[in-house]
């Protein structure tokens, strides 16, 4: 950038064309990328686990979010660096596929990057590191399967599902009401679950904080036949998405046909699914078969405010659920919504696949031991990378210990020794100072697919970062 003056002495700025691009190659490129990835992971590390810290994020328009959900933190951080963006993507993929474990996956990737940096410094080629990591991740994923357990639940015995959801919720801000929230999540998921097909459509669950628009009505002569048509097909309640004016409202009321005039598109679809009705774009298309059925529709007010909700009950098909959250302030409600989302995902994952592994870092420690032992079987340079992978796995229990105010290295050593001595893969970090390391006794578990996905996704992204050896970017002025 240069300052120049025109013939009248007025200043102007000359911007150079961006022909100059900054370029990093080889090891420098890898190191710069690794440190960007590590920086993101470092931010999330303190949020991991039941004693993890929360982050307060302010958006440019002043909205404040307080959360410890990894995906949300990264989503709102507005990072510029391309590698940091990859880490954000990573967390998002875990959120999209599993819904939980979004912090852990980034911490794991950060640890893998940190170990890779050491290996690169020792002169090991990045491709060999990437290959070693790939082998190690497969060993770890297989090992997880090996130490996993099936666990049973049924519509009558929901306790185990509730317990798993409680593990997820225990690290959230809302952990004081984890039991209540876990029960709500499990009931909601079971209500929409197809246990035979082992499938759950989470779209059928809506977490509502706002209020349904209220029942009111009126309108003029033009609406007369519209109302008549509704009456003719036998409708006893009209629900409309785009609203109608006061005159129509009046008319409907006059004819004893109650109506809801503003219902969001999503809600309308849920109501249609629940009642077995069809959404008709024009009232002329209304026929008796397209009507939905519900036993009772009532309005209920809450608390001291004038908030009112419309309840549509005893539906023909009750497989649509709305969870209604009230709270002291918007931030709390938003965080509760995010936490319930995680719990819903955990319950859904369990219905899809009821294998679990124990949490509190126990599964990672067990995998670390298995990967370390397997390293000896590989004669090539990859064995260094495999060992480093084992060390990276240890970083999860270490972060959990550190965040709970424990000595990370000491605690890890003790727990690892205990796992080996007792041949018990359930020993983890006693974050809440319960008095036992056995996560099975503490009822701290996570889904097998969630944990496997964490390892696979973290490995994938790290491999991708390691393979970049040329970074060309527009130079900054
Ligand atoms: P994520 O977003 O990755 O799920 P969390 O902050 O929810 O991150 O922390 C999850 C980690 O905390 C998991 O490793 C889980 O096993 C562990 N954890 C949760 N509850 C407990 C507990 N009561 N004791 C020990 N570890 C726990």
* pLDDT tens series, the chain, 477 aa: 677 787 777 777 776 665 566 778 888 888 889 999 999 899 999 999 888 888 888 877 778 888 888 888 888 887 778 888 888 889 888 888 887 888 999 999 999 999 999 999 999 999 999 999 999 999 999 999 999 988 776 666 677 778 778 877 877 777 778 888 888 888 877 777 776 666 776 766 666 674 333 333 334 555 677 777 788 888 888 888 877 767 677 777 777 888 887 788 888 888 888 888 888 877 777 788 888 887 788 877 766 666 677 777 777 666 667 777 776 677 777 888 888 888 888 888 888 888 889 999 999 999 999 999 999 898 888 999 999 999 999 999 999 999 999 999 999 999 999 999 999 999 999 988 888 999 988 888 888 999 999 999 999 999 999 988 877 777 654
Active site residue 167: no
Please state, in angstroms and as integers, the Cα–Cα distance from residue 192 to each residue in 100, 199, 273, following that order.
20, 9, 11
- What ipTM, to 2 d.p.? 0.96
Q: What interhelical angle do 82-97 and 70-77 show, nearest 10?
A: 140
In this structure, the residue with its CA closest to atom 27 of ligand 1 is 360
Centroid of ligand 1 to alpha carbon of 169 (angstroms): 9
Q: What is the rounded distance in angstroms from the CA atom of residue 281 to the CA atom of residue 298?
A: 25
Residues 6+ apart with CB under 8 A from 58: 64, 65
How many beta carbons lie within 10 A of that of residue 191, not counting itself?
Answer: 15
The answer to whether the Cα torsion of 432, 438, 442, 444 is positive or negative is positive
Please say if 95 is a catalytic residue. Answer: no
Residue 69 designated active-site: yes
Q: What is the pLDDT of residue 310?
A: 78
Distance CA 25, CA 42 (A): 25
- Write down the pLDDT at residue 215: 33
Residue 14 burial class via C-beta count within 10 angstroms: exposed 0-12, middle 13-18, buried 19 and up: exposed
Q: Which pLDDT belongs to residue 153?
A: 67
Closest CA to ligand 1's atom 12: 49
Say which DSSP state 180 is in: H
Alpha helices, DSSP H only, in 154-205? 159-169, 178-192
Q: Distance from the CA of 88 to the center of ligand 1, in angstroms?
A: 19
Q: How far is the CA of 281 from the centre of ligand 1 (A)?
A: 47
Q: Residue 15 contacts by C-beta under 8 Å, 6 or more apart in sequence?
A: 1, 477
The CA 35 to ligand 1 mean position distance, Å, reads: 25
Indicate which residue of 46, 67, 102, 336 is catalytic. Answer: 102
| Count of H-run helices and E-run strands, the chain | 15, 17
Active site residue 436: no
Choose the catalytic residue: 46, 65, 67, 69. 69
Query: Mutation test of ligand 1: which of 359, 397, 406, 450 has the most ligand atoms closer than 8 Å to its C-beta?
Result: 359
- The alpha carbon of 390 and the centre of ligand 1 are apart by a number of angstroms equal to 20
Q: Which residues line ligand 1 (CB under 6 A)?
A: 47-50, 52, 68, 70, 100-104, 167, 170-171, 359-361, 396, 400, 428-429, 431-432, 444, 446
């Amino acid at each position: 950038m240069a300052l120049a003056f025109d013939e009248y002495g007025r200043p102007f700025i000359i911007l150079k064309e961006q022909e100059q691009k900054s370029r990093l190659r080889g090891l420098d490129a890898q190191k710069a990328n690794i440190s960007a990835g590590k920086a993101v992971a470092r931010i999330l590390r303190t949020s991991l686990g039941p004693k993890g810290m929360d982050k307060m994020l302010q958006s440019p328009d002043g909205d404040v979010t307080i959360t410890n959900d990894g995906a949300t933190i990264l989503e709102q951080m507005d990072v510029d660096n391309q590698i940091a963006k990859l880490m954000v993507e990573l967390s998002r993929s875990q959120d999209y596929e599993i819904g939980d474990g979004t912090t852990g996956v980034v911490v794991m990737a950060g640890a893998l990057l940190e170990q890779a940096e050491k290996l690169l410094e020792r002169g090991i080629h990045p491709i060999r590191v990437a290959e070693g990591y790939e082998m190690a991740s497969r060993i770890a994923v297989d090992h997880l399967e090996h130490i996993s357990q099936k666990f049973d639940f049924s519509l009558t015995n929901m306790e185990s599902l509730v317990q798993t959801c409680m593990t997820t919720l225990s690290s959230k801000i809302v952990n004081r009401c984890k039991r209540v929230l876990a029960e709500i999540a499990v009931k909601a998921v079971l209500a929409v679950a197809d246990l035979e097909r082992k499938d759950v459509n989470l779209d059928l669950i809506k977490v509502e904080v706002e209020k349904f628009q209220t029942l009111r009505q009126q309108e003029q002569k033009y609406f007369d036949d519209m109302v008549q048509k509704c009456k003719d097909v036998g409708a006893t309640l009209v629900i409309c998405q785009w609203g109608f004016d006061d005159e129509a409202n009046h008319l409907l009321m006059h004819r004893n046909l109650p109506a809801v005039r503003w219902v969001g598109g999503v809600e309308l679809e849920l109501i249609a699914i629940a009642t077995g009705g069809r959404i008709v774009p024009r009232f002329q298309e209304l026929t008796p078969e397209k009507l939905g059925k519900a036993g009772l529709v009532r309005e209920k007010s809450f608390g001291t405010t004038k908030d009112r909700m419309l309840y549509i009950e005893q539906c023909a098909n009750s497989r649509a659920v709305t969870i209604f959250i009230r709270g002291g302030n918007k931030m709390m409600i938003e965080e509760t919504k995010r936490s319930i989302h995680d719990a819903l995902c955990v319950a859904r994952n369990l219905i899809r696949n009821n294998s679990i592994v124990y949490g509190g870092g126990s599964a990672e420690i067990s995998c670390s031991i298995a990967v370390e032992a397997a390293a000896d079987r590989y004669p090539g340079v990859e064995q260094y990378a495999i060992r480093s992978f084992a060390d990276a796995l240890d970083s999860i229990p270490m972060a959990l210990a550190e965040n709970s105010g424990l000595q990370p290295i000491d605690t890890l050593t003790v727990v690892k020794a205990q796992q080996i001595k007792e041949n018990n893969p359930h020993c983890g970090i006693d974050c809440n100072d319960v008095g036992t390391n056995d996560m099975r006794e503490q009822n701290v578990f996570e889904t097998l697919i969630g944990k496997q996905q964490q390892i696979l996704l973290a490995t994938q992204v790290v491999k991708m970062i390691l393979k970049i050896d040329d970074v060309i970017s527009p130079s900054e002025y």
